[in-house]
Structure 1
Amino acid sequence: MMEAGYKLGGRYRVIRPVGEGGMANVYLAQDLILNREVAIKVLRLDLQNDPDTIRRFQREELAATELVHPNIVSVYDVGEDNGLQYIVMEYVSGADLKGYIAAHFPISYAEVVRMMTEILAAVQQAHAHGIIHRDLKPQNILVAPSGHLKITDFGIAVALSENSITQTNSMLGSVHYLSPEQARGSIATKQSDIYSLGIILYEMLTGKVPFEGETAVSIALKHFQNEIPSVRKIDAGIPQALENVVLRATAKEPSERYESVAAMTADLKTTLSPLRVGEPKFVSQVNNEETKILPRIDPEQFNTSSAAPTSAATSTAAAPTSAAATTPPSDKNLQAQKQKRPHPWIMIAGLLVAALIIIGGYFVVNQLRPVAVPNVTGMTQSKAESTLIAAQFKVGATTKKSSDQVQAGRVIQTTPAKSKKAKHRSVVKMQISTGKQEYVVKDYTERSYATVAAQLKKAGFKVKRTTIISRSYANGRIVQQSLDAGTRVIPKGKRITLTVSVGASGFSLLDMTNWSQASVQQYAGSMGFTLNTKYDYSSAVQAGAVMSQSPAAGTAVARDAKITVVLSRGSQADGAPD
């Protein structure tokens, strides 16, 4: 472990360790040249002596510097310091996806799709550059405070791919997401990354990995021997279309998986669409038993075989007890008996048709009968979807809206509204809360105070105005603000102070308390401000003198300002005239 303050490569000063794994140790450091925080990943000491690992490590990380994408952690530099191999990367504050899932599960299906789409976009960019990650797992995906995701460790995964099976700690973390072909020792391909992406999606939907075991080997065996458990058995509210993405991405045979990350992305984006409700479950064709071909039955053969038992039964029932009984009936009598007696299959078919008509009629009546939309207001999106599906409604598109009353991620209302009657299988749309509406403070300097204040008050701010004499800003223009531009705040009840210029000709208002009315008028005439006079009773201030003023003494005002003074009428007991 490197101590805080150590200068790596003569440029990066170590601040503190931020992570420790089976492959490398990660430190937060300060780039002394560019004056920015960076993350430095230092290859573990026991791997520093393997020249092949070092060579692959450097080659792949240099290739990773070409991956410029908003969802990929940028690699700034690769170097060596006293035998220590290190990588300098973009520093992303926040948790990894593993910790995020643990802290926020259950995650709404829409949010899972959004997050997974960002992960897929990053992997698609890497694949386009011929780089296969080989070690995709939630621990290698960082979640920024903004909610955006970034994938890391493209190069180090490649460098350590040959050694990871022998590194117990590293393997236990990776084997949960390992493709069957990698578990068998085969070369990893783009489809191997797609398998790992399917396992990550499984974990985001269920909060756990599909296979557990005491050893890495036992888990690896399950990946190429056991079928992926159904996510819908864990959460029945998950749409079948979304489960199908998991099943197809994690198919045992690479040929059955998505041909590319782009194809997986396109499929994932439509999984919550009402058009895909009722989609059949994805079934692997490779793992299914071969279809059995039944032998063709000739109609004549069927008639012969079905007639035989009838003839035998007739013969047995008509066993002779006398010579007269043994006389065979004529052909005409036999034909008449066959015509009178209905065939048993016809009777059974008739009964089945009647039953189907009754059952079908029952279901048709029930399907046509309107039912009340369940009240899902205040539920999480995933729970609301499960409730609607259980009530035999289809879940339609969702819309987002800010709300002061409903917590973020929960349902504000539905269309049709709760308790309204609607047909079975009809579509119910939901409005999801984004929480209290945030307001992004802008740069208001040099803008008109009257215009800005009106906008801020309408948004819910409490606006306080202070004034200043300025030679640089015209009268009525904002000089500075108490909240910096770019600050995101909930405006309701939030105070913001705007400092406004009164121009270069402005002046500081004198204290006019106890002045006579004549003195006040003379002062107004000399300074140019408009005087507004009011009256009130006062036992402390003599009649005709100033009791109070607005603005207060010392306030910077413009020459054309409007100043209000309150003159005393004396004590009300004196009976001063109104």
Structure 2
Amino acid sequence: MKRTKEDFSTGGEVSAGYGSPSWCRGQLLGRGGFGSVFIAKLKEPCWRFPSIMAVKSENAASAPSSLMKEELVLQALRGCPNVVQSFGSDITTDCSGDSIYNVFLEFASGGSLFDFIKKTGSGTGLPEVLVRDCTRSILTGLKQVHDHGFVHCDIKPHNVLLVPTVNGYIPKVADFGLAKRHNVRDGSGVKGTHLFFSPEMVVFGIQEAPSDIWALGCTVLMMLTGKPPWAYTSKSELFSRIATETPTIPHHISIAAQNFLSCCFVRHSAKRLTATELLSHFFLLESDECKDVFIQESSEVSNQKYLGVKPQSQHHPSALPSFIPIPSSSSKEEKDIPAAVERTCYKQIHPLAIKGCQPPVTFTVCAN
């Protein structure tokens, strides 16, 4: 009989591998579709492993198609500071003879970002300065994932973990059970959590790096509002809304935050900004830099909408061009979406050349 996930914590396990640390399984932290996560404590010090870790475990009979695949992705991302790190794996056998595949991970004592939003946001969202810092960290991790040729496929607050540091906690991208290689289709179709699906996933069944950016936008929206990005009563209604609408961007947040979300929610995936480009967005300026930034409305110049950005200081010169045209989307562009996506998942454009984005207002960002 196949063991239940709860049975993993009954104890009496013996390591079947060589070079693995001597450890014991602690309390259950959570369960997912690709394994259960427990605290793991070393019985004896080992220089390659921290004294307290998280261990993700699954019955070895099902692990080859799930947890082992996730470990391979984590091995490729080892050393990326904004991705939850893996310390290796082990196979244990219990007194019943069942084999358990275990992957050792960083212990995120701060829990998930979703839990933090529920506890701190009180249903109204987190302070924008905190959202900015979290977004910068998540986006940096997502850039590292994409730079290594992977698509995460399930970005959401539940899969961002708060890992302790000297100064507090750092949000890190976690849970790569659904991750895939860029531009590789395995025949299983789109994967992930329906609330965070992008238009191209629903309409065309295509899931690449731009889909992660859309999911990031949904995550940022949840941080700012404390609420899911969509309200719906059925799966068909949700997919219909994703296929034809864009999540509502609240007016009470800053114009910089509104524009950042607009960049994430560009419906044409080929025009959606990459993680690298979004890291240059002025919403993600350091807090002390933002004190010197003011936003003012600007009239149209030469009948074009634009963003005018002046250098902030000699120490932090603006990475943005001084004039960025923002053309309106056309129906022809929407019809060309399948061809554009088949040709390339996203095209390289100048950082913050926000083509296809329609910010709530036309504005200029200046620095004193």
Q: What TM-score, normalized to structure 2? A: 0.65
Q: Deviations over 1:309-344 (max 9, x none)?
A: xxxxxxxxxxxxxxxxxxxxxxxxxxxxxxxxxxxx
Q: Distance in 2 between matches of 1:213 and 1:6?
A: 47
Q: Distance in 1 between matches of 2:212 and 2:143?
A: 10
Root-mean-square deviation (CA), in Å?
3.7
Q: Distance in 1 between matches of 2:239 and 2:101?
A: 30
Higher helix proportion (structure 1 or 2): 1
Selected match of 1:177 from 196, 200, 218: 196
Q: Deviations over 1:378-411 (max 9, x none)?
A: xxxxxxxxxxxxxxxx9999xxxxxxxxxxxxxx
Q: How does 1:414-493 map to 2 (within 5 A)?
A: none
Percent of aligned pairs with the same amino acid:
21
Partner of 2:170: 148
Q: Distance in 1 between matches of 2:131 and 2:365?
A: 16
CA 1:263–1:75 in 2, change beyond 3 Å: closer, same or farther?
Answer: same
Q: Distance in 1 between matches of 2:169 and 2:64?
A: 39
Matched, 1:77 2:99: no
Partner of 1:261: 275
Q: Distance in 2 between matches of 1:103 and 1:120?
A: 23
Partner of 2:113: 97
Matched, 1:9 2:15: yes
CA 1:97–1:227 in 2, change beyond 3 Å: closer, same or farther?
Answer: same
Partner of 1:59: 72
Q: Deviations over 1:263-321 (max 9, x none)?
A: 1111132495634332679988336699xxxxxxxxxxxxxxxxxxxxxxxxxxxxxxx
Q: How does 1:100-115 map to 2 (within 5 A)?
A: 100-105=116-121, 106-115=125-134
User: SS state of the match for residue 147, structure 1?
Assistant: strand
Matched, 1:211 2:230: yes
Contact 2:74–2:86 (Cα < 8 Å) also in 1: yes
Question: How far off its partner does 1:190 sit?
Answer: 1.6
Matched, 1:244 2:259: yes
Partner of 1:129: 148
Q: How does 1:50-449 map to 2 (within 5 A)?
A: 52-53=65-66, 56-64=69-77, 66=78, 68-81=79-92, 82-105=98-121, 106-144=125-163, 146-154=168-176, 156-158=177-179, 174-184=193-203, 186-232=205-251, 235=252, 238-258=253-273, 260-267=274-281, 268-270=283-285, 274-278=293-297, 285-286=328-329
User: SS state of the match for residue 266, structure 1?
Assistant: coil
Q: How does 1:545-556 map to 2 (within 5 A)?
A: none
CA 1:190–1:56 in 2, change beyond 3 Å: closer, same or farther?
Answer: same
Q: Distance in 1 between matches of 2:236 and 2:63?
A: 24
Q: Deviations over 1:523-555 (max 9, x none)?
A: xxxxxxxxxxxxxxxxxxxxxxxxxxxxxxxxx
**The structure with more radius of gyration:** 1
- List runs of 5+ in structure 1 lacking aligned partners: 291-393, 398-426, 428-578
Contact 2:84–2:106 (Cα < 8 Å) also in 1: yes
Alignment-mate amino acid for residue 178 of structure 1: F
Q: Which structure would you say has the larger RCO, counting Cα contacts within 8 Å and 6 or more residues apart?
A: 2
Contact 2:150–2:179 (Cα < 8 Å) also in 1: no
Question: How far off its partner does 1:28 sit?
Answer: 0.6
Contact 2:294–2:365 (Cα < 8 Å) also in 1: no
Partner of 1:421: none
Contact 1:6–1:14 (Cα < 8 Å) also in 2: no
Contact 1:179–1:192 (Cα < 8 Å) also in 2: yes
CA 1:185–1:62 in 2, change beyond 3 Å: closer, same or farther?
Answer: farther
Q: Deviations over 1:249-274 (max 9, x none)?
A: 1222112211x212111113249563
Q: Distance in 1 between matches of 2:265 and 2:126?
A: 21
Q: Distance in 2 between matches of 1:396 and 1:248?
A: 20
Query: Which range moved further: 98-107 or 29-38?
Result: 29-38
CA 1:108–1:288 in 2, change beyond 3 Å: closer, same or farther?
Answer: farther
Question: How far off its partner does 1:36 sit?
Answer: 0.8
Contact 1:198–1:249 (Cα < 8 Å) also in 2: yes
Residue correspondences, number: 280
Contact 1:224–1:252 (Cα < 8 Å) also in 2: no
Q: Deviations over 1:65-115 (max 9, x none)?
A: x2x133221111134444433321011202211111112224222221111
Q: Distance in 1 between matches of 2:9 and 2:119?
A: 31
Partner of 2:40: 29
CA 1:14–1:139 in 2, change beyond 3 Å: closer, same or farther?
Answer: same
CA 1:21–1:257 in 2, change beyond 3 Å: closer, same or farther?
Answer: same
Contact 1:248–1:256 (Cα < 8 Å) also in 2: no
Question: How far off its partner does 1:7 sit?
Answer: 3.3
- List runs of 5+ in structure 2 lacking aligned partners: 1-5, 17-21, 93-97, 299-304, 308-325, 334-363
Question: How far off its partner does 1:157 sit?
Answer: 2.3
User: SS state of the match for residue 9, structure 2?
Assistant: coil
User: SS state of the match for residue 231, structure 1?
Assistant: coil
Question: How far off its partner does 1:202 sit?
Answer: 0.9
Q: Distance in 2 between matches of 1:49 and 1:224?
A: 35
Question: How far off its partner does 1:123 sit?
Answer: 1.2
User: SS state of the match for residue 85, structure 1?
Assistant: strand
Q: Distance in 1 between matches of 2:172 and 2:196?
A: 18
Q: Distance in 2 between matches of 1:87 and 1:274?
A: 45
Contact 2:198–2:242 (Cα < 8 Å) also in 1: yes
Question: How far off its partner does 1:131 sit?
Answer: 2.2
CA 1:69–1:36 in 2, change beyond 3 Å: closer, same or farther?
Answer: same
Q: Distance in 2 between matches of 1:61 and 1:199?
A: 24
